[in-house]
Structure 1
Amino acid sequence: MPAFDLAIRGGTVVTATDTIRADVGVRGGRIAAVADRIADAARVIDAGGLLVLPGGIDSHVHIAQPSGPGIVMADDFASATRAAAAGGNTCVMPFALQPRGASLCEAATAYRAQAVGRCHVDVAIHLIVSDPTPAVLGQELPALIAAGYTSFKVFMTYDDLVLNDRQILDVFAVARSTGARVMVHAEGYDAIRHMTERLERAGQTSPYGHALSRPELVEREATHRAISHAELVDLPIVIVHVSGREAMEQVAWTRARGLEIHAETCPQYLTLNAEAMKGLGSDDAMAGAKYVCSPPPRDAGNQAAIWSGLQRGVFEIVYSDHCPFRYADEAGKLNPRGRTSFRWIPNGIPGIETRLPVLFSEGVSKGRISLNRFVALTATNHAKLYGLYPRKGSIGPGFDADLTLWDPNRCETIRQENLHHGADYTPWEGFPVTGWPVMTIVRGEVVAEAGRVVGEPGWGQVIDRTVDRGGMAA
């Protein structure tokens, strides 16, 4: 009987700290050996000329999430994880959203049921707390954290999600006592409402109004306020999808004072521009809706600032914030209300399949970040921050055999027609990239190869996590 189920031979193995020429041996869905030569295996994959990377972990995606009256998200678990696999990802982390007035436990249970048996890659679920009632704070949230939902998100904006300052402090206190990880969407609700109404009165209702209603200072103020609340409670928090210099400077300033604050960003803030929301070059007045997300993409100066933050270590994670809606669909970006004002355009863009190629090309291929830094930003740090390490996030004995074989020299142009998500467009249409995933392996099984997703959904598992006694997800 062969010593290994699978041997990946002849590739260059890359982790967040090391780059070596080695073979990888897999047994029982886990990495059993990393050695100069793995000879005795039931199956051999030739990785000559390729990089062998830890499978991408996209720790912030929105899948099959309630999105408002008449609005339907473009991806369910099958289509989103299919796209994730094609893009070199082996694990994704979506959100179970608590509707106002509903039970958080019931929302988590129902959402998990949608995922079980339908995924191509592994899934670990965050929570979204929108209604922190005494029952939620005292019973439901602590029980869910103990059951393996060890991270949750709170919002400082959106009508149906926003928490006031007291509520934020209350949920922070629960996280402090239970060891949960808290993510904060930091944009000021009242400031956005003020700007939105002001723009509408002036007749500025096109998609570009979305960017005007959410200037940098709205994100900066909310980031500072979230950090201040965290300092008061003595809680490390994560500021998610930071879009520009001013919010990033709040994080850097806080860390210089010795406080533990984490920051994350996305490819849209590295490559897209707010001008795209003007629909330039299109006869379609609503074309800019394709780029509407929150916070909005900014300008070239802020792109440069975010790249600098990646290089200096201000940002630990790059995820997609995949939030897909169809464009040519009245249940998506062209919802009838969306034709009256930018305020009704569903916020979010697809990106689960393009995250890794865009960051590799713009980062590694252009010399902005190292290959090891790429691995840290796209896999290892996600696993460490959200309680998946040392099961996932690196390559070594004992880790899940979650691997992506990567051709660093392959040139492609991103086209919607070649993608696997449920949306009918990509914001990166026509974007040239150098570096491409050619095979994705989840727990020792090939789930995507040469641009094709192989196998039926169901191989992907829903993973529960734990917190350690020190209060950090583990």
Structure 2
Amino acid sequence: MSAPDLVIRGGTICTASDRFVADLAVKDGKITQIAAHIDGARDVIDAAGLLVLPGGIDAHVHIAQEQGDGTVMADDFASGTRSAVAGGNTTVMPFALQKRGESLREAVRNYHTLAEGQSWCDVSFHMIITDPTPQVLGQELPALVQDGYTSFKVFMTYDDMVLNDAELLDVFDVARREKALVMVHAEGHDAIKYMTRKLEEQGKTAPYYHAEAHAQIAEREATHRAIAHAQLVDVPIVIVHVSGRDPMEQIQWARSRGLKVFAETCPQYIAMTAEDLKGLNMDFEGAKYVCSPPPRDFDSQKAIWQGLRDGTFDIFSSDHCPFYFEGENDTGKNNPRARTSFKWVPNGIPGVETRLPILFSEGVSKGRITLERFVALTSTNPAKLYGMYPQKGTLAIGADADITLWDANRRAPIRQADLHHGPDYTPYEGMEITGWPVRTILGGKTVFADGAMTAEAPQGRYLSRGFSPDQI
């Protein structure tokens, strides 16, 4: 066996099922050996006292996504993926958005143009279907799935994205036939429109009322409806960014009947509540926390933690959707139109860099979940669910050498000044974190260490994916 390019020495290696102290060798970007002691490497990293984990896979991020209303997304591929590797991630999965009237194939091609040569970590695209024409359903979508775009997202709300029930069923039917995986944003559009109208009639327009308009009832109803459609068609689905107990119960009901329903939750549902949207005495600072679904209450947080432990949730993603708060030329959340009503506040918060530290600190460091469960939720399960395992998501012979070293004892607050993303704020400002990634290795090469980028240029690759298994 030829000498390895790199040995990571003496760290505590942890996968979704095992934990042990060993050396790990890398050659030509792949893991080639794991043993008690390995000599002969050209480069050695001393990992004594550190955790050696598979690189994080953030399976739900929005980067360089056109908004159509003048609002500007605060991260392009360069800043978004730089922020990702700073937070311990080695793969991200953003969305190629089809605008209504646009060819789906053209949308994917245009999105590749934005990513070309800009990605500091590996990337793979989901698609967003907003216009399921006969051309899209009969030709473009099946061809793209066969080309390795094996997952796509549909929306049950938002005026410019919502699909009606007939369209959802048609899209689900194509997914079943082509073995694609459907991600569902489950919120009831008509219920939200009704609540928004009622709140505005009462003069309740501050950002906080976004949380009331996007009530958990609307999320529960849409989750149930999405599951019913999936059951009718017999297709697996992923309910994304689940916020609380009510939609969780629908997912648990489905699983008790053997339905293939997967579930995702996010940092905002364990680290924030709707009270954050009040800002300082119901002022516009609350807009910094506006996302959909919104954070709920402490009972919802309790339910989410239980779901993270018991397997209700398969993956933990950021739903990174970054906007400026101020923004030049009124392009941020704090723009004149948004100040007239919560319904115009850009929906989304940044979180790709803080996802892993928040779950590690609140989960592993506080004893709510095990380290192995942390790895499963943030790396192994996303790799399995979205057709990248075992190339990604684990530390095993032959896997990509995508590795993150963690200092489980490092304590520091989250600060906007320390982050590498594009937006001008973080909703987690001041949150105390115990346990931080200290080195991110992509394909055997260190890209981030000691708080700074170390790679000279973006080296991330685009990943064509296989099909997901029946279960993870």
8 Å contact from structure 1 (residues 58, 352) kept in 2: yes
Q: After superposition, where does 1:44-443 map in structure 2 within 5 Å?
A: 44-280=44-280, 285-329=283-327, 330-443=330-443
Deviation at 1:281, TM superposition (A): 6.2
Deviation at 1:335, TM superposition (A): 2.5
Superposed CA deviations along residues 212-238 of structure 1, whole A, max 9, x for unmatched, are 101111000000000000000001100
8 Å contact from structure 1 (residues 55, 441) kept in 2: yes
8 Å contact from structure 2 (residues 243, 295) kept in 1: yes
Deviation at 1:473, TM superposition (A): 10
Query: Which segments of 5 or more consecutive residues in structure 2 lack a partner in the other structure?
Result: none
8 Å contact from structure 1 (residues 21, 36) kept in 2: yes
Q: CA distance change for structure 1 residues 260 and 473 in 2, over 3 Å: closer, same or farther? A: closer
Q: CA distance change for structure 1 residues 281 and 429 in 2, over 3 Å: closer, same or farther? A: farther
Cα distance in 1, alignment partners of residues 458 and 372 from structure 2: 31
Deviation at 1:116, TM superposition (A): 1.8
8 Å contact from structure 1 (residues 104, 140) kept in 2: yes
Deviation at 1:339, TM superposition (A): 1.1
Deviation at 1:244, TM superposition (A): 0.4
Cα distance in 2, alignment partners of residues 202 and 120 from structure 1: 48
Calculate the TM-score normalised by the size of structure 1. Answer: 0.98
Cα distance in 1, alignment partners of residues 29 and 89 from structure 2: 16
Cα distance in 2, alignment partners of residues 412 and 443 from structure 1: 28
For 1:386, the aligned partner's letter is: Y
Deviation at 1:131, TM superposition (A): 0.2
8 Å contact from structure 1 (residues 266, 318) kept in 2: yes
Superposed CA deviations along residues 427-458 of structure 1, whole A, max 9, x for unmatched, are 10000010000000001110100111122442
Deviation at 1:38, TM superposition (A): 1.3
Query: Which segments of 5 or more consecutive residues in structure 1 lack a partner in the other structure?
Result: none
For 1:393, the aligned partner's letter is: G
Deviation at 1:68, TM superposition (A): 2.6
Question: Secondary structure of the equivalent of 1:69?
Answer: coil
Deviation at 1:257, TM superposition (A): 1.1
* Fraction of identical pairs, as percent: 62
Question: Secondary structure of the equivalent of 2:324?
Answer: coil
Q: CA distance change for structure 1 residues 371 and 355 in 2, over 3 Å: closer, same or farther? A: same
Cα distance in 2, alignment partners of residues 137 and 82 from structure 1: 35
Question: Secondary structure of the equivalent of 2:333?
Answer: coil
Cα distance in 1, alignment partners of residues 115 and 314 from structure 2: 27
Cα distance in 2, alignment partners of residues 49 and 473 from structure 1: 35
8 Å contact from structure 1 (residues 270, 303) kept in 2: yes
Deviation at 1:466, TM superposition (A): 2.3
Aligned-residue CA RMSD in angstroms? 1.3
Q: CA distance change for structure 1 residues 281 and 43 in 2, over 3 Å: closer, same or farther? A: farther
Calculate the TM-score normalised by the size of structure 2. Answer: 0.98
Structure 1 moving runs of 4+ over 6 Å: none
How many residue pairs align between the two structures? 470
8 Å contact from structure 1 (residues 67, 346) kept in 2: no
Question: Secondary structure of the equivalent of 1:411?
Answer: strand
Superposed CA deviations along residues 176-209 of structure 1, whole A, max 9, x for unmatched, are 0011110000000011011111111110000011
